[in-house]
Amino acid sequence: MDPLRTHHQNISQPAMSRGGADQESVVETPDVAALAQLLADRTRVAICMALLDGGTWTASELAEFAAVAPSTATEHLNLLVSGGLLAEQRRGRRRYVRLAGPDTAETLEILAGLAPYRQVPVRSLAEANHRRALHHARTCYDHIAGALGVAITDAMTERGLLARDYGLVLTCAGARWLTALGIPDTVPSAAHRAHVRTCLDWTVRRRHLSGAVGAALYRHAVDREWLVKAPATRILTVTDAGRAAFRDHLALPDEALFPSLTPAAPRP
Amino acid sequence: MDPLRTHHQNISQPAMSRGGADQESVVETPDVAALAQLLADRTRVAICMALLDGGTWTASELAEFAAVAPSTATEHLNLLVSGGLLAEQRRGRRRYVRLAGPDTAETLEILAGLAPYRQVPVRSLAEANHRRALHHARTCYDHIAGALGVAITDAMTERGLLARDYGLVLTCAGARWLTALGIPDTVPSAAHRAHVRTCLDWTVRRRHLSGAVGAALYRHAVDREWLVKAPATRILTVTDAGRAAFRDHLALPDEALFPSLTPAAPRP
DNA sequence: ATCACACTTCGGTGAGCACCGAATCGTCCG
DNA sequence: CGGACGATTCGGTGCTCACCGAAGTGTGAT
């Protein structure tokens, strides 16, 4: 149709204002393809997934994690930073990198929930253990995911702290429960209306609690040392104190509290 | 590092179970890259954006909309359907296609909100008018977007029907207001806790109302003929009755009710 | 000063893929 | 039946890009 259309001018450069002819009539449009292009590469996604632990990684740590050469990692980081998905901070000879913000993290989680599944071979016993631990309990940027996260959400729902109507919401009882735990500030006066979001868990294909309440709960659990986050991974470990607390406050069953008891990836 | 790693085995085929050696130790992982790959092409995104009007299109309509050859459109539709983003229905020699579901639509909107902006030239006067109309009021799968959508959201907030704490929520007054309008069924008894979501508007870079309440409001407005949707586009036109209603119930200003008065894409 | 280290730049390579046109297959209509 | 039409298949083309290694740059430690 359009004779100007050479083959495959799909994304590439910003097209360079030509001749200055009709430059007055332009419109801005969100370039979804450009954003998706950033995430259309397994290595870049692996980097983003690593950063979903909410932490700050160096370039070489990410290169090793993603199993690519440092030079390749540099290229990917350049793209992700200039695309606005990652924030960087250079100190000395190190390049520190983290997710740009909660929006980014949430978008990644949403995509992970909608994405098709893929079979991935497990090579070593160490990797199998790592998988098992991830499956049991991990961070999801600022809240708790994995079997533990789902169990918490389920228990809170059963006990009437959360209610399901057109999405999950915090009930008045739930607000009181949070206050009793000593989580007041995050939840404003009209507590029953506080922001509750859910997030589709990619290991269990079940929804778990996120949003402001999920974040507050996670922070609280870490502060009280109910949970300990392993450095440089997203793995959470439940402490003895944590087991006591989760049994006490939510009557969580042992399956949710011990990683070894977590059943192997139930496929729906 | 890995000698098995030839160059660029990034996405491609499902790798074909080899030799049947170590097939027991596999794990399922969401393949975000594969999903993003689907959206990493301008033409495919254009198709998805067209389908965001919530309607059903034929293959050739989409080919014309996206300005590609029919054969190219077929290829794209095959990918999008088999990737689960689109649902198809074949009748006779026609292929009817629509978005797979609300999840898909929501994900697209979220991506559009996070995506970078791109300058797009406007070629004809007709296109300029089309843009203006889209900018003023359009559907966003199942709710109202554009300047009108933002104005509605703002007005509802100002009048205490919506409140902002950790995201937007419907107040008790808001629930009563909906009931008075005659929108009861969508909103369950504990109405003030009904599902409210916001959606970042890509024309105005402002949030507007979505979720169950947003969808109910849109359906109501169409039922009462406050709004009329132009066929084969996402454009909404405000009728006289609509203007009266929106002035009455929300005191919307004229700028929000007449497309010509909408200011040209304010950039923050 | 010297060396180790974290990262970057650059050239080259190979795979992937968006596109079209021409030919083909079915379906619907006159 | 025959022709128009919607959609598909297929071969070919050219661009894009993920990857690496080797060489280079700057920082920090000895």
- DSSP assignment of B3-63 equals TT--TT-SSSS-----TTSSTT-EEEEE-HHHHHHHTSSHHHHHHHHHHTTS--EEHHHHH
**DSSP label of A12:** S
Reported as a single tens digit per residue, the pLDDT across B103-137 is: 898 899 889 989 999 988 887 888 888 888 988 99
- Please give the backbone phi and psi of residue A151, each rounded to the nearest 5 degrees, phi first: -65, -40
B192–chain A nearest CA distance, Å: 8
Token digits of residue B176: 């009563």
Query: Which nucleotide shows the minimum CA-to-C1' distance to residue B60?
Result: D6
Nearest to A29 among B22, B120, B166 (CB): B120
Q: Is B253 among the domain residues?
A: yes
pLDDT of res. B5: 43
The beta-carbon contacts of B60-64 under 8 Å, at least 24 apart in sequence, are B61/B232, B62/B97
Looking at the structure, tell me whether residues B63 and B187 fall in a common domain.
Answer: no
Q: Are strands B94-99 and B236-238 parallel, antiparallel or unpaired?
A: unpaired
- Is residue A7 pLDDT above 70, yes or no? no
By the 8 A CB rule, do B194 and B170 touch?
Answer: yes
- Tell which of A101, A119, A140 closes a domain: A101
Residues 153-182 of B near strand C (Cβ < 7 Å)? none
pLDDT band at B179 (very low <50, low <70, confident <90, very high): confident
Amino acid at the residue A247:
R
Q: Is B170 among the domain residues?
A: yes
Cα separation, A261 vs A133, in Å, equals 11
Cβ contact A60 with chain C strand, < 7 A: yes
pLDDT of res. B115: 94
Looking at the structure, tell me whether residues A145 and A216 fall in a common domain.
Answer: yes
Bases in strand D with any atom closer than 7 Å to a protein CB: 5-10, 12-23, 26-28
Q: Is B57 among the domain residues?
A: yes
Nearest to B212 among A28, A114, A166 (CB): A166
Our CA angle for A69, A73, A74, nearest 5°, is 115
pLDDT of res. A175: 81
Question: Mean pLDDT throughout B83-109?
Answer: 93
Residue B92, domain extent: 32-100
pLDDT of res. A5: 43
Looking at the structure, tell me whether residues B200 and B132 fall in a common domain.
Answer: yes
Q: Is B16 among the domain residues?
A: no
- Please give the backbone phi and psi of residue B79, each rounded to the nearest 5 degrees, phi first: -65, -45
Residues 76-115 of B near strand C (Cβ < 7 Å)? 76, 79, 91-93
Residues of B with CB below 8 A from A26's CB? 119-122
Reported as a single tens digit per residue, the pLDDT across A119-171 is: 888 878 888 888 889 889 999 888 999 999 999 999 999 999 987 755 677 77
Cβ–Cβ contact A261 with B under 8 A: no
A121–chain B nearest CA distance, Å: 4
Q: Is B219 among the domain residues?
A: yes
Looking at the structure, tell me whether residues A83 and A133 fall in a common domain.
Answer: no
- Tell which of A53, A86, A101 closes a domain: A101
Q: Give the nearest chain A residue to B26 (CA atoms).
A: A121
pLDDT of res. A262: 57
pLDDT band at A19 (very low <50, low <70, confident <90, very high): very low
Q: Give the nearest chain B residue to A123 (CA atoms).
A: B25
Cβ contact A239 with chain C strand, < 7 A: no
Total domains, chain B: 2
pLDDT band at A71 (very low <50, low <70, confident <90, very high): very high
To the nearest 10 degrees (0 to 180), the angle between helices B70-82 and B59-66 is 110
- Is residue B151 pLDDT above 60, yes or no? yes
Looking at the structure, tell me whether residues A166 and A247 fall in a common domain.
Answer: yes
What's the predicted TM-score (pTM) here? 0.82
- Please give the backbone phi and psi of residue B87, each rounded to the nearest 5 degrees, phi first: -115, 140
Q: Is A115 among the domain residues?
A: no
To the nearest 10 degrees (0 to 180), the angle between helices A102-114 and B102-114 is 150
Amino acid at the residue B118:
R
Residues of B with CB below 8 A from A163's CB? 190, 193
Q: Is A74 among the domain residues?
A: yes
Looking at the structure, tell me whether residues B56 and B136 fall in a common domain.
Answer: no
Looking at the structure, tell me whether residues B250 and B164 fall in a common domain.
Answer: yes
Q: Does the CA dihedral A213-A219-A222-A224 come out positive or negative?
A: negative
End-to-end, the C-alpha distance of chain A in Å comes to 47
**DSSP label of B263:** -
A11 with B42: Cβ contact below 8 A:
yes
Cα separation, B150 vs B156, in Å, equals 10
pLDDT band at B63 (very low <50, low <70, confident <90, very high): very high
Looking at the structure, tell me whether residues B86 and B135 fall in a common domain.
Answer: no
B175–chain A nearest CA distance, Å: 13
Looking at the structure, tell me whether residues B94 and B141 fall in a common domain.
Answer: no
Looking at the structure, tell me whether residues B133 and B255 fall in a common domain.
Answer: yes
- Tell which of A101, A116, A143 closes a domain: A101
Q: Is A255 among the domain residues?
A: yes
Looking at the structure, tell me whether residues B131 and B238 fall in a common domain.
Answer: yes
Looking at the structure, tell me whether residues A215 and A156 fall in a common domain.
Answer: yes
pLDDT of res. B188: 47
CATH number of the domain to which B60 belongs: 1.10.10.10
Element housing A40 (H / E) = none
Bases in strand C with any atom closer than 7 Å to a protein CB: 5-10, 13-23, 26-28
